Structure 1
């Protein structure tokens, strides 16, 4: 929870006061700041980590922080620099592709990068899911369904089955969607996307609006508020 993250952040900051040249601690601080929705602090932590020890983790963190900040140009510069430093790194290419995919006018560039990754690493789950995200952003559910079905012929993976189920549910192909959610959960019963999707699908099939807030959810919301107040002592 938030309290745990704040405690971990305070330990990381204590460690950095003792030794400011520890790149891993700056990375840890950056990731905690991202989770706590503090992009400005995350940017400075990842920058420091990258200066001390350039790494794909620092580039990824910095790109995420800039994106959260709405600084697309800075995110793009960081991702391009990562590819320049690590031209054979799949992670660096995926990072650049994901930055391009955020903007409608550069989605075609992103698609080329992801397809290129799949040529060198067939079955790369991250590249497949990023291609699906682009199809969905372009409202091309037919292409998304076709791409996932094709990859699932040679790549048994719970995340891919769960994503296909979500696409099928959106296309109102409920029978096929339920089948793929069950396959995903048989491969990995802890798959949260599949659990939540199946719950949503069952409501839709019963004619219940899955987005309607129930009384239970309202009670839960009040509890969450109470917890946040309790945790404020760590701020």
Structure 2
């Protein structure tokens, strides 16, 4: 009677999620079983499962896994008639818990083995989804597709599974037909096809599709769609629009974290120190348990040239999420600042392996190579980006950037930039690169014409600096000062603008000195002509 009471109390405590009490009572019950053999196999099984759940709740995953495996061994001695009555503590639950423990311990082989131990007819959507994820990680495409399809048949609006099927190469119409929802979800086909455009690298098309979804009355103001639109803009190399949508998303959903690390990197690229500092503080106040908050702080440290702090914050982000691409890029940038370029190279390569579809990962590796004057290696990476991402304005520009240090191939670099501008005449990086090429080719008048149009459209500090440099070369110092000043107003930390103003100041002093010297010689000559006195240079005293 006492034994039945203990098990019933354990069941009650477990259902009430009083895990500390479950841990204490189940530990005592296990000792009673060991010493007195007071419980039958079915009760022992329940006790061990409850014990495992209490350890799992306390994140003691190894102890939990050991308890679950002992429970499965005990279950072999449970009569079949009793097994069918166990609902809460069935074997599927135990195997799934073992899978979760193995995943926490980075043991994917053990995790997959545990899930495959569940009979197919007993596999619920949660189990099939987990198996599909593990198959996908092993590049077992067909098996993963079958698992995701099973999930969709049971849960037609499992949108995450639908997107994964698209990534695995399934046609959007096939995915929509499997989902088989009625006409009330009228936005679903457009949503699936928009994600299909992303998967197929049709980024311009995906921007149009997500923008149309964002403007639908039923989905107006939806943060998920706005996030998708921002990412689509970023992948289409429209960083200004991406930053605008992410900024709007942050204002609309103050506690939204997904994609905010990317927003921090865009603020860093634009050198908006004050805005980035405020944003990173706000984000960290939302949560310090997500990588986005640490990455945002890291980019603020990077902007202040505190490279050691930036690397530390990136490492903290990677501890929270080992697959955070933005954390790897941040760490690489910080390491380059510290002069640890070789380590930065490995982190940049890790970012590419995690996100081979992102041009910025290749760009970071290119910049690492170019910082060590390994321009041939940089060009090789740029070509691999072109092969992976296809002919896009960004991939053309990346190839052109690797050629800039070599003046003999500037014409070839210019042709690549022209191709980029043919695809997108408003591409910011392409316009900046074209202006840089014209400057290096000493075509200052043509560069000024191009830069004037670009600064009216974009108004970045880098463009104003380059325009100031062009005016300096043409000795138009007043115009140069104007544009250096504008660059500093846009980015108070702009080193190039400060250097430009210093050069102008030195040039002014040199001109004043030359003018004063010339005036003194003229005065001497006039005095000599009027007085007739022989000056020392005519009759040296020595």
TM over 0.5: yes
- CA–CA distance in 2 between the matches of 1:178 and 1:205? 11
| Of 386, 394, 398, the match for 1:95 | 398
Q: Which residue of 2 aligns with 1:223?
A: none
Alignment of 1:129-140 (within 5 A): 129-140=432-443
Distance in 2 (alpha carbons) for counterparts of 1:66 and 1:170 = 30
Matches within 5 A, 1:70-85: 70-85=373-388
Q: Find the residue that maps to 1:41 and give its secondary structure.
A: helix
Partners of 2:492 and 2:326 lie apart in 1 by 29
| More off after superposition, 116-125 vs 91-100 | 116-125
2:444 is aligned with 1:167: no
Question: How has the CA–CA distance of structure 1 residues 45 and 119 changed in structure 2, closer, same or farther, with 3 Å as cutoff?
Answer: same
Specify every segment of 5 or more residues in structure 2 that has no aligned partner in the other structure, as ranges.
1-300, 513-542
How big is the alpha-carbon RMSD for the aligned residues of Structure 1 and Structure 2?
Answer: 3.3
Superposition pairs for residues 186-205 of structure 1, below 5 Å? 188=490, 190=492, 192=494, 193-194=496-497, 196-205=499-508
Q: Give the equivalent residue in structure 1 for 2:129.
A: none
Which secondary structure state, in structure 2, belongs to the residue aligned with residue 100 of structure 1? coil
Q: Alpha carbons of 1:14 and 1:80: their partners in 2 closer, same or farther (altered >3 Å)?
A: same
Shift of 1:43: 0.8
Counterparts of 1:187 and 1:156 in 2: how far apart (Å)? 14
Q: Distance in 2 between matches of 1:100 and 1:186?
A: 29
Alignment deviations for residues 105-145 of structure 1 (CA, whole Å, 9 cap, x no partner)? 32222101112222332243322222222233233334323
Residues 157, 187 of structure 1: 8 Å contact kept: no
The answer (yes or no) to whether the contact 1:185–1:191 under 8 Å persists in 2 is no
Choose which of 298, 311, 318 in structure 2 pairs with 1:9: 311
**Which one is further off, 35-44 or 67-76?**
67-76
Checking the alignment, whether the CA contact within 8 Å between 2:428 and 2:458 is kept in structure 1 is: no
Offset at residue 194 of structure 1 (A)? 4.2
| CA displacement at 1:152 relative to structure 2 | 5.0
Counterpart of 1:128 (choices 410, 431, 437) is 431
- Higher mean C-alpha displacement, 116-125 vs 151-160: 151-160
Using the size of structure 2 for normalisation, the TM-score is: 0.34
Give 4+ residue runs of structure 1 displaced > 6 Å after superposition: none
Distance in 1 of aligned mates of 2:458 and 2:403: 28
| Corresponding residue number in structure 2 for 1:231 | none
Q: Is the 8 A contact 2:469 2:500 kept in 1?
A: yes
Aligned to 2:352: 50
CA contact (8 A) 2:468 2:481 kept: yes
C-alpha distance after superposition, 1:125-181 (max 9, x if no partner):
3222222222332333343234334x3596362543442222111221223333444
| Residue 36, structure 1, aligned to residue 342, structure 2 | no
For 2:465 and 2:313, how far apart are their aligned partners in 1?
A: 37
Secondary structure of the residue that 2:457 maps to in structure 1?
coil
| Aligned residues of 1:93 and 1:113 also touching (Cα < 8 A) | yes
Q: CA deviation at 1:63?
A: 0.8
**Distance in structure 2 (CA, Å) of the matches to 1:15 and 1:191:** 26
- Unpaired runs of at least 5, structure 1: 210-235
Q: 1:5 to 1:174 in 2, by over 3 A?
A: closer
From 24, 27, 37, give the equivalent of 2:326. 24
TM-score with structure 1 setting the length? 0.71
What is the match of residue 176 of structure 2?
Answer: none
Native 8 Å contact 1:181 1:197 kept in 2: yes
Instruction: Look at both structures and tell me which one has the larger radius of gyration over its CA atoms.
Output: 2
